[in-house]
């Protein structure tokens, strides 16, 4: 499969491009970029630019690794790692809409969508099949669990549990039920996730111990994924503004 680099695109000779990659006019792919098969990079995008870190030495060898079939639209910026030998990681089949940004050392899983102007600060982790709405901003070191939904213009400064929706400033608004159904999970699995959501997030306070208490009894892998998310993180968790109902 032929790789296409259009006129007026800039691709450094040290960049690594897989089969069938298309780089459109005005796009920039630096020597620090590692691009998977059949990815598409639209005009004005910059893949592998320096991290936005004041004391960074641009001679530091670090990377952006981008999976196959990911689409990078106009004026998107994907920054490389600030650490020598390390990489910002972008999964497969992601879709970054115009002017969205992925900061240094982020880990973005497969099938993630960032809408126009969505912004990930450095060291953010985003789980698979998550949608980040237009203009949303994610604070550094936050984690967003898989199958999440971040509303447009949301400000996220805390971790968003797996399968959950967040709006405004860290306001957990419930489970992403549409996303759960799209995963093809059975009614029984979704009901188990709902029960754990209510048990873990239905009370004020630290949800970690409640999640830990329920983990051993979890039956399905998705329910275990939801509960295990509470083991990690440094920034606390987004929680409902009202009692959790799922």
Same domain, 152 and 207: no
Same domain, 116 and 18: yes
Same domain, 196 and 156: no
Question: Which of 246, 213, 217, 205 shows the shortest CA–CA distance to 231?
Answer: 213
pTM tops 0.85:
yes
Distance from C-alpha of 91 to C-alpha of 112, rounded to nearest angstrom:
8
Each residue's pLDDT, cut to its tens digit, for the chain (246 residues) gives: 899 999 999 999 999 999 999 999 999 999 999 999 999 999 999 999 999 999 999 999 999 999 999 999 999 999 999 999 999 999 999 999 999 999 999 999 999 999 999 999 999 999 999 999 999 999 999 999 999 999 999 999 999 999 999 999 999 999 999 999 999 999 999 999 999 999 999 988 999 999 999 999 999 999 999 999 999 999 999 999 865 555
Choose the catalytic residue: 36, 44, 122, 133: 122
Choose the catalytic residue: 42, 104, 123, 139: 104
Same domain, 11 and 112: yes
Question: Which of 176, 198, 190 shows the shortest CA–CA distance to 221?
Answer: 190
**Is 58 exposed, middle or buried, given 0-12, 13-18 or 19+ CB atoms closer than 10 A?**
exposed
Any domain includes 245 = no
Same domain, 201 and 144: no
Q: Quick check: is 122 catalytic?
A: yes
Same domain, 149 and 205: no
Same domain, 117 and 231: no
Any domain includes 46 = yes
Q: Quick check: is 104 catalytic?
A: yes
Choose the catalytic residue: 105, 111, 159, 170: 105
> Which CATH number does the domain housing residue 131 bear?
2.160.10.10
Three-class SS of residue 201? helix
Distance from C-alpha of 100 to C-alpha of 134, rounded to nearest angstrom:
8
> Which CATH number does the domain housing residue 190 bear?
1.20.1180
Contacts (Cβ under 8 Å, ≥6 apart) of 190: 177, 180, 181
Same domain, 203 and 223: yes
* Helices and strands in the chain: count of H runs, count of E runs: 4, 26
Distance from C-alpha of 180 to C-alpha of 186, rounded to nearest angstrom:
9
Q: Quick check: is 134 catalytic?
A: no
Give the residue numbers spanning the domain of 228.
184-240
């Amino acid at each position: 499969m032929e790789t296409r680099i259009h006129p007026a695109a800039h691709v450094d000779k040290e960049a690594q491009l897989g089969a069938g990659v298309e780089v459109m006019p005005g796009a920039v792919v630096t020597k620090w970029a590692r691009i998977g098969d059949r990815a598409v990079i639209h005009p004005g995008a910059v893949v592998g630019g320096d991290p936005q870190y004041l004391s960074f030495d641009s001679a530091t060898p670090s990377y952006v690794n981008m999976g196959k079939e990911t689409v990078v639209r106009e004026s998107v910026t994907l920054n490389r790692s600030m650490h020598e030998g390390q990489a910002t990681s972008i999964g497969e089949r992601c879709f970054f809409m115009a002017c969205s940004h992925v900061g240094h050392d982020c880990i973005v899983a497969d099938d993630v969508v960032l809408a126009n102007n969505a912004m990930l600060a450095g060291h953010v982790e985003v789980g698979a099949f998550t949608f980040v709405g237009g203009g949303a901003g994610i604070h550094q070191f936050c984690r967003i669990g898989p199958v999440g939904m971040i509303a447009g213009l949301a400000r996220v400064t805390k971790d968003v549990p797996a399968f959950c929706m967040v709006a405004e400033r860290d306001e957990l608004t419930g489970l992403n039920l549409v996303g759960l159904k799209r995963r093809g999970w059975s009614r029984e699995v979704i009901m188990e996730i709902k029960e754990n959501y209510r048990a873990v997030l239905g009370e004020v306070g630290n949800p970690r111990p409640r999640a830990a208490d329920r983990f051993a009894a979890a039956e399905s892998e998705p329910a275990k994924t939801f509960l295990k998310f509470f083991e990690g993180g440094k920034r606390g968790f987004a929680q409902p503004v009202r009692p959790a109902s799922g």
